[in-house]
Amino acid sequence: MWHALATPWGTIAYDWDGARLVRVRLGHVPGAAFAGDDPAAGWLSAYFRGDPLPCLPPLALPATPFQARLRKALLAIPVGTTCAYGALARELGTSPRALGQALRANPLPVVIPCHRVVAARGLGGFAAGLIWKARLLAWERLLARECAAERLVMHRGTD
């Protein structure tokens, strides 16, 4: 069942089957209603408001064994940082292009941070449209900076 959700950059939609998050679509989905009050809505709205993130909602199982390993690797990339296709491919013992295919097939963008993987020079690609990749990365850079500043204050005081 598709649910709509407002973000600073327009509405997005996610498919919650009652127990797990099945897919996420960046952009408008015709049939989607705004009634969402489930763990996926909680996580996504926290993300887009810049609040501390709760635990991930239950996610649909990965389609292939490789995607299972990929998912784990992606979730290990911290907010505000990025990783190169080549580097991640080596880490997973595969080729950069193959990694790109697997990333393109990710049904859960944002929640599974496939946008944190960028090309050696430039952004690389993004299934939902490059503009979203740029926005998400900029947003996360901002959040990470804010977080770092806060830690600094805790440590040294404001003066």
Partner DNA sequence: CGATTAGTCCTTC
Partner DNA sequence: GAAGGACTAATCG
120 makes contact with DNA (CB under 7 A): yes
148 makes contact with DNA (CB under 7 A): no
121 makes contact with DNA (CB under 7 A): yes
Site map 78..97 versus DNA, x via CB under 7 A: ------xxx-------xxxx
Q: Is 55 among the catalytic positions?
A: no
126 makes contact with DNA (CB under 7 A): yes
Residue 8's SS3 state is coil
Residue 37's SS3 state is coil
Give the dihedral of Cα atoms 118, 26, 102, 47; nearest 10 deg: 70
98 makes contact with DNA (CB under 7 A): yes
Using the contact rule CB under 7 A, the part of the chain among 6-14, 20-28, 121-129, 151-159 near DNA is: 121-129
- Interacting residues with DNA between 2 and 61 (CB under 7 A): none
Rule CB under 7 A: choose which of 15, 21, 57, 106 binds DNA.
106
* Cα–Cα distances in angstroms (integers) from residue 62 to residues 36, 40, 49, in the given order: 23, 17, 27
Q: Residues 23, 5, 53, 85: is their CA dihedral positive or negative? A: positive
**Minimal distance, residue 54 CB to DNA, in Å:** 24
Choose between 22 and 147: whose C-beta lies nearer to DNA: 22
Nearest to 96 by CA among 129, 115, 124, 134: 124
Chain centroid offset of residue 125 CA:
14
> Which alpha helices (H) appear in the chain, and where do they start and end?
39-49, 65-75, 85-92, 96-104, 130-156
Q: Which residue in the list 55, 83, 114, 147 is annotated as catalytic?
A: 114
**Inter-residue contact 81 to 116 (CB < 8 Å):** yes
Question: What residues are annotated to the active site?
Answer: 114
Q: Which residues bind DNA (CB under 7 A)?
A: 63-64, 66-67, 70, 84-86, 94-106, 109, 114-115, 117, 119-121, 124-127, 133
